[in-house]
Amino acid sequence: MKLSPLFSQRLEEARQEGYRQGYRQGRQQARREIIESLLVFRFGELDSQLEVIIQQIMELPKEDLNRLILQLSNLYREELLDRFGGEN
């Protein structure tokens, strides 16, 4: 059975979009896991206050995220929470 060219094209476009969406979700999940790991390494555990700011950290532009990662070892927990408006 031969598919019409238009149907084949739409099917391929849908497949490509599904691939791109899965790729983006995978990158977001990996970024979240890295941030969580860094926070656990620095502060010992992820409590509810740190959980609240993870999404904000994930949304930082790459340059700001890199800067934060470099500064993390020198930041106190309260400073990090203050920076992102978390309750302490």
State pLDDT tens for residues 26-65: 999 999 999 999 999 999 999 999 999 999 999 999 999 9
31 neighbors 58 (Cβ within 8 angstroms)? yes
CA 23 – CA 67 distance, rounded (Å) = 25
* Residue 3: pLDDT over 80: no
**Total-model pTM:** 0.76
Work out the burial of residue 68: count CB atoms within 10 Å of its CB; fewer than 13 is exposed, 13-18 middle, 19 or more buried.
Answer: middle
As a whole number of angstroms, the longest Cα–Cα distance in the chain is 65
43 neighbors 77 (Cβ within 8 angstroms)? yes
* Residue 86: pLDDT over 70: no
State pLDDT tens for residues 60-81: 999 999 999 999 999 999 999 9
